[in-house]
């Protein structure tokens, strides 16, 4: 699945979260995802970008268009070199939060996207990769 097109954006501030939402919206619209799908992808982007800023101490997002057979997908990777997550299983649960949030960012994004993987190591950082297939 060699990416056709790729772009990297910094995710360090609240304004970067807005910029990430807008960039992903643009790509998803260009790829002709339905309005509901666009909304799901942009919402997941907002959640994961905010985690990168709030919990990961900032990082970046890599967006790319990928292909598998006849299917096109929008692939997003959120990466930071923050504190990592000690208990990923717990973090993936609805309502789990260490920051007084809703605890829906990770679990909700997983539901909103077709594929979701998380790699994290305490003291090294976190990498969340998601794809939405058309």
Partner 1 sequence: MERIPILRMGSFLLVTIQVDMHDQLAMTLQDDLTSAIAKFEARGVLIDISSLEIVDSFIGRMLANIAAMSRILDAHTVLVGMQPAVAITLVELGMSLPGVRTALNVESGMELLHALSESPEETEADGAAEN
Q: What DSSP string describes 16-42?
A: HHHHHHHHHHHHHHHTT--HHHHHHHH
Q: Are 44 and 37 a contacting pair, CB within 8 Å? A: no
| Cα–Cα distance list, 57 to 26, 29, 93, 123 (Å) | 26, 30, 22, 12
Smaller CB distance to ligand ATP: residue 38 or 109?
A: 109
- Judged by beta carbon, residue 55 or residue 75, the one nearer ligand ATP is 55
Nearer to partner 1, 21 or 81 (CB): 21
Residues 53-92 that bind partner 1 (CB under 8 A): none
Site residues (CB under 8 A) for partner 1, limited to 31-50: 35-36, 38-40, 42-43, 46-47, 50
Binders in 7-46 for ligand ATP, by CB under 6 A = none
83 membership: H or E segment, kind and range: none
Q: Is 51 in the site for ligand ATP (CB under 6 A)?
A: yes
């Amino acid at each position: 699945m060699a990416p056709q097109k790729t772009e990297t954006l910094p995710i360090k501030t609240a304004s970067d979260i807005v910029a990430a939402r807008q960039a992903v919206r643009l790509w998803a619209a260009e790829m002709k995802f339905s309005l509901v799908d666009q909304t799901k992808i942009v919402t997941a982007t907002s959640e994961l970008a905010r985690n990168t800023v709030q919990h990961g101490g900032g990082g970046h997002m890599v967006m790319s268009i990928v292909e598998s057979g006849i299917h096109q997908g929008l692939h997003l990777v959120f990466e930071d070199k923050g504190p990592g997550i000690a208990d990923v299983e717990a973090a993936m649960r609805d309502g789990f939060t260490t920051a007084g949030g809703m605890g829906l960012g990770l679990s909700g994004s997983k539901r909103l996207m077709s594929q979701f993987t998380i790699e994290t190591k305490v003291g090294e950082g976190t990498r969340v990769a998601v794809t939405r297939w058309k």
